[in-house]
Every structure is written in C-alpha cells, then in structure tokens.
Chain A
Amino acid sequence: MKFSTKAMRLAGVTALLATTMAYSPAQAADDTIKVGVLHSLSGTMAISETTLKDTVLMLIEEQNKKGGVLGKQLEAVVVDPASDWPLFAEKARELLTVDNVDVMFGCWTSVSRKSVLPVIEELNGLLFYPVQYEGEESSKNVFYTGAAPNQQAIPATDYYLEELGVEKFALLGTDYVYPRTTNKILEAYLKDKGIAEDDIFVNYTPFGHSDWSKIVADVKALGADGKKVGVISTINGDANIGFYKELAAQGISADDIPVVAFSVGEEELSGLDTTNLVGHLAAWNYFMSADTPANAEFIKTWHAFTGDEKRVTNDPMEATYIGFNMWVNAVEAAGTTEVDPVIDAMIGQKYPNLTGTEAEMLPNHHLTKPVLIGEIQADGQFDIISQTEPVPGDAWTDYLPESAVLESDWKDLKCGMYNTETKTCVQMKSNY
C-alpha cells in the first residue's frame, strides 16, 4: 500500500512535469468574494427554490451597490442540483473545490440538506439553510435561519389549545421526514398537555396526493364525540390544493374545524381560489402582509428586481434575507471570509427581521424568531392575528426523551450534539 502510494506519487510528479506550463494554482488572487447558490432550478422543487435563488441574487446586487463586503464585490456562482438529492452533494463539492466559494446559500428539502452535510463538513464549508425544518440537527458548518419546531409547530399548537380550545387533533401530513418528526414531537407535546392518545388522529399521504374525500370525511367524523377538532397540516406542496378544495367542497369552515398549516405560504395559495378558505390558519415567522417599513422596502426591492409587481414574498425569503445580512456583518466583523473566524463571528449577530423585531444568531446556529399566526384571506394573503416575541430556536426538541438531554453549543461546548446527562459530546460531525 505504501509502496503503491509512492509509485502513484511518482507517476503524479511525472505528469506534473509534463504539464507544468498548463498548471496554475486555483487560488489565484481574486478581487471578488464568491457566493455559491445551491438551489434547484429544475425538477419538482424548482418552483420553491428558484424564488430563493432570485432572492440571493437580489441581496448580492443590493450589497454590491453598497460597496460589497470588505471592499470586494460579491460574485454569485449559481448551480442547479435539479431536485436530485445525490446531485446536491456533487454540486456542493463542485462549489467548494472547483469554484472555491466562500459561503453557500441553499437547499430546501431536508433530504437535500442531509445529502450536502457530509460534503460541507468534510471540506469545512459554510451553508445557510433558510427553510423551516424538523430540527434534531446542528452542524458546525450550517446556520439554520428557518424555524425549528419550537418556533412554528409548538406555538401554533399552543394557540390551538389556549385560544381556540381545541381538544382533539388531526395531524395530517405528507409522508416524509418533516411531517413525521414534527408530528412525533407534537404527539409527545400534546400528551404532555393532557390530550389522550385516542384524541390524536395521524394520517400520512404521498407527495402530490389528490383524492382527499375520505380523509376529510374522517376528520369531520372526529367531531362526533363532542370535542372541538383542529387540524394541524404538514401537507406539502401541490397536495394542498386538492386538500383545500375538498375542505371547501365539504363545507368545513374555519370556525368549526380550523386548519393550521406549516407548509402553506403565499406562494402555495397563489395556486388556488381562497374565497372558501378564509379563516383557516398558517403559522410562520413572516408574512408578506407584515406592516413594517423594512418589509415594505423589501417588497419594493423584490418587485423592482423581478420586474413583476405580482410576485409574492414568503417566509424562506425572509430567512435568506436575515442569513445573508448576518453573514455580511460577520465577515465584516471577522475581517476575512475564512470559514472558521466567520462561524465564530456569526454567533451573537443581531439583525432586524422584517416583522419589527430583531433576530439573533444563537450558539446552536439557530435564530430567535417571532411566531406569527395568520388567517387566510380572500386575496391569497394572510391576516396576521397573533405575533409572539422572538422565540429562541431549539436544535434538539425538549419534548422527546432522547432529544431532551441533548444540547448544541458551538461557542463554549464546541459541540452540536452534547449529552447533558453523560456530559459528553455524542458526535462532532453530524450523522446525516
């Protein structure tokens, strides 16, 4: 083995000599800072992710107008992982080793993030992940600017319990990680709150499911034992259209059986007529209808950038906005784009969000975020009816016994999965 390595090296040296003239180091002095954009531009996720690519490009353009970062202009390197999960890993490696980007913004689905994780941890890259997700993860190389379950699911459930007096829960979801984990956390949480197991109805449907009549009828029938029923929906993407159409067809009003959705935003609602859905709910950390000057400015810039007055903004866009600006400030503070100093400078960064409060990057690489609950309106926008103070994001949920003992702290403990009972770092790198 050793010999063969040597032999290989020898061969390599020979080849090197043969191609001396052609070879030049990749890290030639550049006067731009490269920003990788790793969002699908084709395939099933393109619809959601293209918007985020445009957001990053817009933010880069704005930042360059202000003089860039550290006196250098920012340059976007856009690749297309085409909604193909293994391709995410390949493209991430390409961005980090071939294009030598200093930071990446990207991914939407959890599986794409899990695909990219080993690569960026191996090559010590830096990724900003802007989508609400199921938690149970904290990587040194990733900053999670979307909501963790305790910043979306738990407060929405509290709203159901406290404000609407819901006693019986239907947890409907698409069959994949985010709904599975979220529902598992919610089930544990609801049992904690004294809801009996029989009063929690769980159902999973495939992606793009369209035949909802039976499920909606089942939900309706839950009301037969005299308890107030509420639906918590983690139904993803297109399937929502059939679901909401069936709700409307069966005449389920928000006053009788409210539905709160965690994956339905302004973008999804533009695919259907919302007049029959007025009053149903969604929980996010941002709504386009937020009435603040910063948001008005953001929407104006967005419309100017896309040249389309009808384009909506949504929660992951705000998460990208916060993440990008924090990164800019962290780079300025660290005085370099080197990954390790920037990671250190990121923790504790504060930046005003678009809903009138301030986001802070916590040592567990999650943000503080206010939780907003909005009611669907006839024009496809949300009417914000409840807004909390910023809630700190929790990487490992407190409501599952095996996660409750875990903690993430990249500042003092330098560990993303620290067991507070045994006082050991379970793993330095993520287990994907």
Chain B
Amino acid sequence: MKNTFLARHPSVIVFILILAVITLLATVFSEAYGTGLLPTNYVKILGKTLCLCLIAIAMDLVWGYCGILSLGHFAFFGLGGYMIGMWLMYARTEDIVIASMTNAALPPTPDEVRDAIGTQIFGVVGGSDVPLVWTFAHSLPIQLALVVLVPGLLALVFGWLAFRSRVTGVYLSILTQAMTLALSLYLFQNDSGLRGNNGLSGLQNIPGLTDMPQSVLSIWFMWGSALALGVGYVFAAWMVSGKFGNVVKAIRDDEARIRFLGYSVEAYKLFIFTITAVIAAIAGAIYYPQAGIVNPAEIAPIASIYLAVWVAIGGRGRLYGAVIGAALVSLLSSWFTGGQAPDVPLGFYTIKWVDWWQVLLGLSFVLVTLFAPRGIAGMFDRLVRKDAA
C-alpha cells in the first residue's frame, strides 16, 4: 500500500530526500558532530525553521485543501509549546530545588518541594503557589499527552461550535482570529497561572540532560524536527491523495454541492480542523525547546496571519509550496530584520531594511494575491509543465 502510494507521488520521495540531505549536511558541518563550520546558532535556526514548515503544512491542509482560512493556528502551536514548556520548567526547577535541599537538616516533604518550586517559578511574576493548571507538570508522559489533547480539544470544541452553526468564509476567519486574541489576552494575564507576559523561559535546558552542551542538543532537536516534518509531510500527502482528500478538496470548491451529495461536510471540516491543530501543536512542542521561551506574544493574531502569508506566497494547495513559503519567508524575515541586510542608499534617503522589510513583505503579499494566486509553487509548476511539454 505504502509503496504504491509513494510510487504515485514521487514528489514525496524527492522531498524526503532533500530533507535528509539538508539535515545530514548540517550535522556534518556542525560544531558537535562535525567540522564546526556551522555555528550552533544556525543549527537552531534550521531546526526551528523545520518546525515552522510543519505548521505551514497544517495550514495548507486546512486552508489550501479544505478552504478554511484559519487565522488561529498559531494559537495551537503556542499551546503545544506551553504544554511541553510546563514540564521543562517544572522538572528543571525540581532538580534545582532538590539539589539545594540536600543539605537541609530534615529531608524535605513533598509539600515543601512543591512550595519551593512554586516560589522559584512564580516568585518572579509575583506569585508563589503552584496553580491548578500545573497539576500534571511533574510528569513528562502526561504533559506530552496534553500537547496533543489540549489544543486538539480546543480545536474540536471551537470547530464544533463554528461549523455546526455554519459559520463560513470570512466570518470564520474573523472568529478564529477572535479566538486567538482571546487566548493570547488570557495568557497575558498573570492570573492565568502561566506566568503572564513572561511566559515560560529557559526551555532550552532539558532536565536530566543538563550536562549535554547546547551544540549537541541542537543537533538532536534538529533531527527531531526533521523527523516530525518528514512524517507530517508523508501523512499529509497520504491524506489528501485518497478519496478523503478528494472530498476535502470538493468542500473547498463547492461546499453546498458536496452537502447535497450526502456527505457530512461539517464532520469532514471538523476532522481537518482538529487534526491540523494537533499537527500545529506538535510542531510547537518541538519548536519552543529550541527557541528557549514561549510567551503570549507568540500567539498574537499577527503570527497566524504571517502563517497565512507564508502559505500564500509558497503556494496554496501544494504541500511543498507551504514548506517553501514558510522556510523562505521566515528566513528572509530574520535576515532582513536582523540588521544584516545591507542598507540601500538612495542619496536623498537610505532604505534601512530593518524599517522597510515589513512594508516590502506587506506589499509583496498584495502582489502575490493579485498576480500569482498560486504562489511560488504555482510558478514552479508552470515551469515543470513547460519542460514536460
């Protein structure tokens, strides 16, 4: 079955190969396992970019294939980061607390340990008790399950409410945006118990692996990200290739007609919405330990809009388009806003990319929508077809 699937979709094999080559090359040139030509910083950027590609695939599934323009998928991405971040922070702090208590006259009670952890984690944001949402933070398996469950449930409930009352098109987009806004405002509150504006930080230090240098960890995380992206890509390609995929695409093209044909449009939509939310959450859970900090600003509505921008520029309805878009735009963004891009002196005025990149991005987005609705992948397709012809 799988063979036939892959045989029918050679692009999947090409993608996996390219991914493997990039990852291997990065390892070969890395500081930890190779020549050291590639600083750890860039390994981390690569790893994070792979995660962004994964969420772009999720976005492409939900928007490019199913026609639901969700402006809220970064909320699931961020939630995934929060779920894994809770364990990372808690377990790391627990190690520190227990180490500091070894010299105490009496062995600490579980309550004392928990109080000390609370003070350490929440002291900085003006609290000291461990809030209820942290109940399972001590357990990696539970938090890992929550990475999938919490965003999945949120998507399920939200999607159920929205699709059930037949909210479609731009209304749905605005509603998803409102959901993101509500979630980020909620997390911004200190009372949410997730450290408010500060979010969860120091996530790059993995409990139990404190002796492992970041140069090594970053490689492992890069491999993890690549693996997740590869699996995600194959899964997405498999899903959209069969009959299921055809129904989904048909919903995008004419929802009413599919409904008349007897398909439960709402169920399909809900499934796609939820499964992509879970993919986004997994991407987030791998992304944030590499970024080191997750906070509400990550979930701000603008992040999800950028996600749509990546997919649109890369090319909707093509999985590799989403990947190209995410990788290209996010890397270009960080290059331009990082102050590395050379300024363009015009004599009377100097274009500083730090200032003007956003303008360029915004306008290029307008241009892509107007003139190249299929994005980069669309142009690429046209070239390939021409060659074939």
Contacts and interface: CB of A to CB of B under 8 A. Distances in A.
A431 B120 contact: yes
A136 B127 CA distance: 12
Given A93-B44, A111-B199, A431-B93, A85 B297 contact: yes
Interface stretch (B150-158, B201-209, B261-269, B312-320): B201-209
Given A134-B124, A180-B196, A402-B128, A175 B96 contact: no
Interface string A167-193: 000000001110011011000000000
Contact of B199 (A23, A85, A180): A85
B39 interface: yes
B28 interface: yes
Given A176-B198, A422-B103, A114 B33 contact: no
A87 interface: yes
Contacts of B338: 79-80, 82, 91
Contacts, number: 165
A4 B188 CA distance: 44
B214 interface: yes
Interface string A266-297: 00000000000000000000000000000000
B297 A84 contact: yes
A15 B337 contact: no
B124 A98 contact: no
A100 B28 CA distance: 23
B40 A118 contact: no
Contacts of A32: none
A176 B196 contact: yes
A203 interface: no
Contacts of B196: 175-177, 180
B31 to A, nearest CB: 9
Counting contact residues on chain B (CB < 8 A from A), the size range is: 35 or more
B173 interface: no
Contact of A80 (B39, B202, B339): B339
A82 B33 contact: no
B121 to A, nearest CB: 8
B33 A93 contact: no
Contacts of A176: 188, 190, 196-198
Counting contact residues on chain A (CB < 8 A from B), the size range is: 35 or more
Contacts of B121: 431
Contact of B41 (A11, A86, A94, A204): A94
B70 interface: no
A8 interface: yes
Interface in A107-164: 110-111, 114-115, 117-119, 122, 134, 136-137
A137 B188 CA distance: 22
Contact of A115 (B45, B127, B201, B358): B201
A19 B293 contact: no
A177 B126 contact: yes
Contact of A15 (B28, B101, B124): B28
Contacts of A122: 205, 214
Interface of A: 5, 8-9, 11-12, 14-16, 19, 22-23, 41-42, 78-80, 82, 84-87, 89-91, 93-94, 97-98, 110-111, 114-115, 117-119, 122, 134, 136-137, 175-177, 180-181, 183-184, 204, 206-207, 400, 402-403, 419, 422-427, 431-432
18 contacts: A8-B27, A11-B33, A12-B28, A12-B36, A15-B29, A15-B34, A19-B35, A23-B37, A85-B297, A86-B298, A89-B204, A97-B39, A115-B201, A122-B214, A177-B125, A206-B188, A431-B93, A432-B201
Given A42-B355, A422-B103, 6 more contacts: A9-B33, A16-B35, A19-B37, A111-B201, A402-B128, A431-B202
